[in-house]
Structures are given as C-alpha cells and as structure tokens.
Amino acid sequence: MLTSTRTAAAALAATALIALAGCSSSPTGTAEAVPIKAATAPQRVDAQAFAQVVAAPGVQIIDVRTPEEFAEGYIEGAVNYNLQGPDFATQVAGLDPAGTYAVYCRSGNRSQAAVDAMRQAGLTSVYELQTGIVGWQEAGLPVVR
C-alpha cells in the first residue's frame, strides 16, 4: 500500500511539473517583455512600470529637463525637449498623435506640465514617470552619462 501511495505521489508530482513547464512564456523560462498597449489618456506610472514602457518597441522617450540636466544623465534612448525652452511647443506640435511617448523630468513636477501640453496637442498615448529620473535612479535603473 505504501509503495502504491509513493508511486501515485510521484506521478502526481511529475504531472504538476509538466503542467507548470507548459506555462512558461519562453523556451528558457525567462520572462519576456510584456507588450505595452497604447494608453487612451496620459498615465502616471512608477519607475518599474516606466521601465517596461520604455523597453517596448516604438516608444519615444522624452526628457523635459534642461540641456544641462540632461547632460548629467538620462534614460537610454531619450531625446531632450526642454520644457522651459522657447521651442518646446513646436517640438510637441511635431509629434505624431498616433505615437506612444514616455515622458520624465527630474522629480515628476515639470513632466506634469509637459504631459498637459502634449494632451492639449492631441497626444493621448503618454506615460509619465511620476518620480522623475530621481526615482528611476533610486529604483536602481540605469542612466546614460
């Protein structure tokens, strides 16, 4: 009786392992990037969610700090659209309304104004880093210098 119980338990464990292995999303068992769906309105997200957004293909990353701040370090792939610069409105007007944008500043204050301007320009698929690059770095995420 003990042998048949052990055999049944081993069979059950093997079945569970096979079932779990079938749930893996990649052949190596490593996590794959989750596709980002276009937002229908600007969204403020934390550093981890922002990292997923900027990793998605086709997302344009916009740093709205001054050029001096940008030179101190930025998220890889970012372009600098200085919110305080005279050409910010022109730069935003030139963006594709169908595009997806990831916007950040130093601490999350200026990016709110930038996202409002983008929304008024008809851009809806916008993700904002609520803690700015300060929160990004505090989360241990990389910057380019």
Which token pair is 139?
A: 């989360």
β-bridge partners, 102: 61, 127
For residue 96, give the H/E element and its range: none
Local mean pLDDT, 10-residue blocks, the chain (145 residues): 38 33 34 53 95 98 98 98 97 97 98 97 96 98 97
**Coil, strand, or helix at residue 37?**
coil
Considering the domain 43-138 in this protein, what is its CATH number? Answer: 3.40.250.10
Q: Number of C-alpha atoms within 13 angstroms, CB side, residue 25?
A: 5
- Residue ranges per structural domain of the chain: 1-32, 43-138
pLDDT at position 40, please?
76
pLDDT on residue 41: 81
